[in-house]
Amino acid sequence: MSEDLHSFKIWFGIGAAVLLIGLAFQWYPAAVIHGFNEELALSNMSPYDINVTRENVNSWRIMQAFVFQPTSIGFFTGGILILIYSVLSTVFSIASAYSKRRTD
């Protein structure tokens, strides 16, 4: 029983870490884009700086759509599957141990 809980803690921790990595892949480009948009809101920028910042925003949006979001979805899916595995394997292991004790 103790081994089951130890295994559960390890797998649950891995699943939670994978979910957090997925969250970071979702959050980081959004934060960068938000920072560039705040920079654009400043009225004291030169036209060259405004164009450079707009190009940066556009490139980050493209990277967000084609790199960060698919990666984030993969990490979210993997994390959820690992969490489900940790819970189900622990439940079935405990049920199996209970069943064996009952038949003995």
Per-10-residue mean pLDDT, the chain, length 104: 82 96 97 94 88 96 97 97 94 81 68
Q: Which of 64, 103, 74, 86 is nearest to 6 (CA)?
A: 86
* Interacting residues of 39 by C-beta distance below 8 A, sequence separation 6+: 45, 53
Burial (CB count <10 Å: 0-12, 13-18, 19+), residue 4 = middle
The confidence score (pLDDT) of residue 1 equals 58
Integer-rounded Cα Rg, in Å, for the chain is 23
* Number of domains observed in the structure of the chain: 1
The confidence score (pLDDT) of residue 93 equals 85
Report the SS3 class of residue 54: helix
Which structural domain, as residue segments, surrounds residue 55? 2-103
